[in-house]
Amino acid sequence: MTNVRSSGTVRFGHTELPAEQRDALHKAIKLEWVTLVFLAVSTTMVFLVLGNSQAMKAAWIEDLLSFLPPVSFLVAARINRKPPSVDHPYGYHRATGVAHLVAAVALTAMGAYLLLESGLGLLAREHPTIGGLDLFGNTVWLGWLMMGVMLLTAAPPVFLGRAKMKLAGKLHDKVLYADADMNKADWMTAVAAVAGVAGIGLGLWWADYAAALIIAASILRDGVRNTRAAVSALMDKRAMTYNDAGPHPLHGQVDGYLRGLDWVADARSRIRDEGHVFHAECFVVPLSRTTPTFEQLQAAREACVAMDWKIHDVVIVPVAVLPSEFVPGNTSGGER
Amino acid sequence: MRRGGYVAGILLAALLLLTGCGSTFPADPQGTLDRARGGTLRVGASINGEWVRIAGPASGDVRSGDIPTSDVQGKDAELVRDFAAQLGAEVEWVAGTEQVLADELKHGGLDLVIGGLDDKTPWVTHAGLTRPYAESRDERGNIHKHVMLVPLGENAFLLELDQFLMAAKEQK
């Protein structure tokens, strides 16, 4: 198990987690382990009844790929804690982004491969062959077992996904979010695979490929979406909410606070998401003919840090005019 | 999740309804089982030791239509004869190499191919395999799990044959 004490402080780099986030992290780590155990059982079960159904194969591969986000999360949650060092002065927060990218690229590649393979199978009109299986002295159609196993494994990920989704918001963790999002949609894969096998049973051989194509398309879609999100995060996109729904509200809060200071004429900042925590560079223009004191600068910095646990690395730069090349756009939220 | 449960439920209900309506489940897309039952079972036989022996002149040649059923002997041939009897079907034997027979099976010219084949057969691109119904050990000590070839995707026929083969295996 990842080594987290349930009491005491937990840090992401030099950022100390508040109690709420610390509990969320512990819960998330526990849930990811539960997910891994579930996946180990379900991939084994599905493998045992895999047969010749393309839809089952696609569902199985999706199950295998589902190992990646939890593993990425657990690995990143460990590396993340390392304090900044001489060689890594910004800390190791990017581990999350790297893990996210690796998982996303794997999803994209497998999704594309499955889409191609299922499409070719459909074009070649290869009829999927599923025969009997000996079960307690009876020979039953393997298709029944396939459908049973898929239905059995359909529900648990949905509950896991819902629980993880809540934690993803609290921790501002995009890998956890991506994982929860995929889990929540997992039952559709199972239903598609059941429909594919049922189709074979009804003599509709193409139903299997249709189901496989649907599953492959959903894997590819997840992959492309996550790759895009992971790449733009690593490219220092401005801080977004954990689900990439919009710009993070903290940005506006920081700028608003700085602008409201009595010695400040104008302020703009750029904030990037390092993977749980934000790095902020705030440019402030002092009122004309005043020079901010060290105490004023220090107090402004500390107030920004106190706003949210996510903001820890703050640099305040007094400037004569806002450098438009560093803070493009018209407003702090970047609403152009 | 609730929606998923509904979809799955409806799906299962639809399935039970369809199976209840008398149509076989699983079904054959090409109707192999229906055609064979009380009709003709077209079987390709490839000579292979104790499993398939074919008497008569030039027994290795590709022949069809005129092979008396008594000319085809061996463990596999006996099983096929019993299976055909269970279906009330006449066996129409076709003799040839695995290559010719597998190709014929793929294009719908045969219903079944025998020839002491095992589950490592390369003909999986052309045919579906039954469950292994017998094992043998070759002179190198390798174990072979024997199977027959059926047309791809003819799942009702395959299940019927699998059930027959398993029952026959248990009787031994």
Q: Is pLDDT of B166 > 70?
A: yes
Identity of the residue in A128, A132, A151 whose CB atom sits nearest the CB atom of B8 = A151
Interface contact A200-B155, CB threshold 8 A: yes
Q: Domain range holding B34?
A: 25-171
In a domain, B142, yes or no: yes
Give, rounded to a whole angstrom, the gap between the first and last alpha carbons of chain B: 49
Other CB atoms within a 10 A radius of the CB of residue A319 amount to 14
In a domain, B8, yes or no: no
pLDDT of residue A330: 64
A contacts of B25 (beta carbons < 8 Å):
141, 201-202
A contacts of B7 (beta carbons < 8 Å):
191
> What ipTM is given for this predicted complex?
0.82
Can you say whether residue B167 is alpha, beta or left, with left for phi > 0 and alpha for psi between -120 and 50 degrees?
Answer: alpha
Identity of the residue in A128, A159, A201 whose CB atom sits nearest the CB atom of B27 = A201
Q: Distance (Å, rounded) from C-alpha B22 to C-alpha B18? A: 7
In a domain, B167, yes or no: yes
Per-residue HEC secondary structure of A22-72 comes to: HHHHHHHHHHHHHHHHHHHHHHHHHHHCCCCCHHHHHHHHHHHHCCHHHHH
Q: How far is A142 from chain B (nearest CA, A)?
A: 9
Interface contact A195-B27, CB threshold 8 A: no
Query: Which of A5-14, A221-230, B47-56, B153-162 has the highest average model confidence (pLDDT)?
Result: B153-162
Residue with tokens 């449960």, as numbered in its chain: B5
> For A250-262, what is the mean pLDDT?
95
Average pLDDT across chain B, whole number: 86
Of A84, A90, A45, nearest to A64 by C-alpha is A45
B contacts of A203 (beta carbons < 8 Å):
26-29, 155-156
pLDDT of residue B16: 58
- The answer to whether A141 touches A132, Cβ cutoff 8 Å, is yes
Interface contact A141-B155, CB threshold 8 A: yes
B contacts of A144 (beta carbons < 8 Å):
none
β-pair type (A264-273, A132-135): unpaired
> For A11-34, what is the mean pLDDT?
90
Q: What are φ and ψ of residue A124, in 5° steps? A: -75, -5
Q: Which domains does chain A have, with CATH numbers?
A: 11-234 (1.20.1510.10), 249-318 (3.30.70.1350)
In a domain, B61, yes or no: yes
Q: Distance (Å, rounded) from C-alpha B28 to C-alpha A203? A: 5
* Distances, alpha carbon B77 to alpha carbons A140, A153, A331, B80, B93, in Å: 25, 43, 84, 5, 10
Q: How far is A1 from chain B (nearest CA, A)?
A: 30
Residues 6+ apart with CB under 8 A from B7: A191
- Band (pLDDT 50/70/90 cuts) for residue A1 is very low
> For A49-63, what is the mean pLDDT?
93
Interface contact A154-B129, CB threshold 8 A: no
B107, with CB counted inside 10 A (0-12, 13-18, 19+), is exposed
Query: Quick check: B128 contacting A, CB < 8 Å?
Result: yes
Residue of B nearest to A195 (CA): B11
Interchain CB contacts (distance < 8 Å): A and B? 99
Q: Distance (Å, rounded) from C-alpha B152 to C-alpha B51? A: 23
A contacts of B158 (beta carbons < 8 Å):
129-132
Residue with tokens 């903001």, as numbered in its chain: A311
Q: Distance (Å, rounded) from C-alpha B117 to C-alpha B126? A: 14
CATH of the domain at B132: 3.40.190.10
Q: Is pLDDT of B128 > 50?
A: yes
Q: Which of residues 39-98 of A touch B (CB under 8 A)?
A: 52
- The answer to whether B151 touches B128, Cβ cutoff 8 Å, is yes
In a domain, B17, yes or no: no
Q: What is the dihedral sign for C-alpha A254, A301, A244, A30?
A: negative
Residue of B nearest to A129 (CA): B153
- The answer to whether B113 touches B93, Cβ cutoff 8 Å, is no
B contacts of A139 (beta carbons < 8 Å):
131, 159, 162-163, 166-167
Identity of the residue in A129, A195, A202 whose CB atom sits nearest the CB atom of B153 = A129
pLDDT of residue B123: 95
Q: What are φ and ψ of residue A108, in 5° steps? A: -60, -45
Interface contact B166-A134, CB threshold 8 A: yes
pLDDT of residue B24: 79
Q: Distance (Å, rounded) from C-alpha B147 to C-alpha A99? A: 46
DSSP A116-143: HHHHHHHHTT------EEEETTEEEEHH
Q: Is pLDDT of A282 > 70?
A: yes
Residue of B nearest to A130 (CA): B155
Interface contact A187-B1, CB threshold 8 A: yes
Please state the domain count of chain B.
Answer: 1
Identity of the residue in B7, B18, B158 whose CB atom sits nearest the CB atom of A131 = B158
Q: Which stretch of A224-233, A300-309, B50-59 has the lowest confidence by average pLDDT?
A: B50-59
Give CA torsion, residues A57, A63, A69, A72, to 10 deg. -80
Condensed to tens digits (0 to 9), the pLDDT of residues A235-247 reads: 988 899 988 889 9
What is the Cα Rg of chain A in Å? Answer: 25
Query: Quick check: A203 contacting B, CB < 8 Å?
Result: yes
Identity of the residue in B7, B28, B155 whose CB atom sits nearest the CB atom of A131 = B155
A contacts of B159 (beta carbons < 8 Å):
131-132, 139, 141
In a domain, B3, yes or no: no
Residues 6+ apart with CB under 8 A from A135: A145
* Distances, alpha carbon A136 to alpha carbons A133, A139, A140, in Å: 10, 8, 10
Condensed to tens digits (0 to 9), the pLDDT of residues B129-158 reads: 999 999 999 999 999 999 999 999 999 999
Q: Distance (Å, rounded) from C-alpha A272 to C-alpha A235? A: 9
Percent of chain A at pLDDT > 90 equals: 68
Interface contact A132-B25, CB threshold 8 A: no
pLDDT of residue A147: 95
In a domain, B141, yes or no: yes
Query: Quick check: A200 contacting B, CB < 8 Å?
Result: yes
pLDDT of residue B7: 61
Q: Distance (Å, rounded) from C-alpha A131 to C-alpha B26? A: 9
In a domain, B19, yes or no: no
Q: Distance (Å, rounded) from C-alpha B43 to C-alpha B35? A: 13
pLDDT of residue A131: 92
Q: What is the dihedral sign for C-alpha B36, B40, B42, B47?
A: positive
Identity of the residue in B8, B18, B152 whose CB atom sits nearest the CB atom of A126 = B152
Interface contact B128-A52, CB threshold 8 A: yes
Residues 6+ apart with CB under 8 A from A193: A53, A55, A56, A58, A59, A146, A150, A211, A215
> For A256-262, what is the mean pLDDT?
95
> For A24-50, what is the mean pLDDT?
95
pLDDT of residue A6: 45
Of A162, A14, A185, nearest to A107 by C-alpha is A185
Average pLDDT across chain A, whole number: 90
pLDDT of residue A328: 80
Angle, in degrees to the nearest 10, between helices A186-201 and A174-184:
30
Condensed to tens digits (0 to 9), the pLDDT of residues A190-204 reads: 999 999 999 999 999
- Band (pLDDT 50/70/90 cuts) for residue B6 is low
pLDDT of residue B134: 94
pLDDT of residue A336: 42
- Band (pLDDT 50/70/90 cuts) for residue A169 is very high
Q: Is pLDDT of B3 > 90?
A: no
Interface contact B26-A204, CB threshold 8 A: no
